[in-house]
Amino acid sequence: MSEKATIVLNRNLRIGEIDPRLFGSFVEHLGRCVYGGIYEPGHPEADAEGFREDVIELVKELDVSLVRYPGGNFVSGYNWEDGVGPREERPRRVELAWKVIESNQMGTNEFIQWCRKTGVEPNMAVNLGSRDFDAARNLVEYCNFPKGTYWSDLRRSHGHIEPHGIKLWCLGNEMDGPWQIGHQTAEEYGRIACEAAKVMKWVDPTIELVACGSSSLEMPTYPQWESTVLDHTYEHVDYISLHIYLRNPDGNIPRFLARSLGMDDYIKTVIATCDQIKVKKRSDKTIMLSFDEWNVWYHSVGNTKKIEPWQVAPPQIEDIYNFIDALVVGCMLITLIKNAHRVKCACLAQLVNVIAPIMTETGGRCWRQTIYFPFYHASRFGRGIALSLNLNSPVYHDEEFGDVPWLEAVATLNDAGDSLTVFAVNRNVENDLLLEGEVREFLNYKIEEHITLTHDDPLAVNTAEYPETVIPAVILDTKIEDGILLAKLPKLSWNVIRLKKI
């Protein structure tokens, strides 16, 4: 038996402009993300610089806009100088965050080369854990200053004559976490972040800066951390970060699918905190949000403790994602788009092998995980203006989240105004959902396609041997009649309904 949900598609129900940076990702020196992931000299698909071209093609297909680098926990013990200059002269280091050996065969300049090849914008993080604002300002000078100074001329001597022009910079990573090298209180971090922001912008006034927010909403200092940090940094930074990883340890599918509601509450709390400091400072400036780590992560939690330490690029944190994980990622993407008026950057963590949409075999194949597809659809069809839907849906009750709508949905209208897309997840475990959409304002539009991702087995996965176990399909009977969009959303499904102006 199918129940019904309704939406209204109206170009005046604007949430805000969707920044292309919302569809970013994250590359950290962790596990096989870099070595054996994006960089593998000697691989049959490697180019002259050692970058895997098969991986590059999948990154281009995803249309990733922004990539954060080099961490993550890694950055809080990283000396950026170790990763520049002739490779044969670079030191091998004990890497304490993940208990491995870092070869430094890939560093800043190689990352920028990779970004240019893939067409993504670099987002560079600086070490405010074991180092301070002096190393941070030197890195900005090395990357962005044209010439005629020590650090800029050093870059030129390394073969990079033109400045890299990196615009977006993160002021450390998760500095509220006791696991972090150089863990600080909010007061301590706020002070050093303020000083780093000042001198980095003095070197290059055009850059944008992201201050560290809480590592998660479960942190005991959240959201006071945000308040204190912004009290110090408000006039010097442009964004504050959010991190979240959704988990399903007990296999409760309805609750797992509801967890994106907690993500939405998290965003709204951080917005309120930013605006409270804005009022306190009597500022005309509005701080935006950078959700620079988000994903599903629970399959491989704790696996790093089982791996022999002090290896180079061991297989750490390699979640094999199932079909339900893909639906949760879809709900998270919808949540980001629904908050596009304030969330202007976001990075799916991570890009390759480490809790990632793309998996590789070292020396072998690469393939798309289940979570690849909702990100692909949102990145490809979710640009432009985010539209609220005046949604009305049947609900189910969850002890943690209360009444949870079966339907999670948002719409986007492209900049030209000739393409309208509805993204929708049916959370119902047992029943299809009939969707009726009021589209009278878009009468000169037709159904372009209705894509769905669904599977009979909630735990189905894609592997190197069976890479197409979970893949999108097309629904043919979705239609518009008398100004009403009519669609059937299969039980447990991710849906992309595209309308095109005639």
Count CB neighbours of 321 within 10 A: 24
Cα distance between residue 478 and residue 488, in whole Å: 7
Judge contact between 337 and 389, C-beta under 8 A: no
Q: Catalytic annotation on 449? A: no
Catalytic residue among 174, 195, 226, 408: 174
Count CB neighbours of 247 within 10 A: 13
Q: Give the residue carrying structure tokens 């990539």.
A: 67
Q: Give the residue carrying structure tokens 């939405």.
A: 264
SS (H, E, C) 301-363: CCHHHHCCCCCCCCCCCCCCCEHHHHHHHHHHHHHHHHCCCCEEEEEEECCECCCCCEEECCC
Catalytic residue among 141, 195, 293, 408: 293
* Listed residue (140, 457, 224, 148) closest to 325, CA to CA: 457
Q: Catalytic annotation on 187? A: no
* Listed residue (177, 34, 24, 38) closest to 95, CA to CA: 34
Task: Report the phi/psi class of residue 190: left, alpha or beta, with left for phi > 0 and alpha for psi in -120 to 50.
Answer: alpha
* Listed residue (244, 220, 217, 241) closest to 229, CA to CA: 241
* Listed residue (24, 33, 25, 68) closest to 314, CA to CA: 33
Judge contact between 50 and 40, C-beta under 8 A: yes
* Catalytic residue ranges: 174, 293
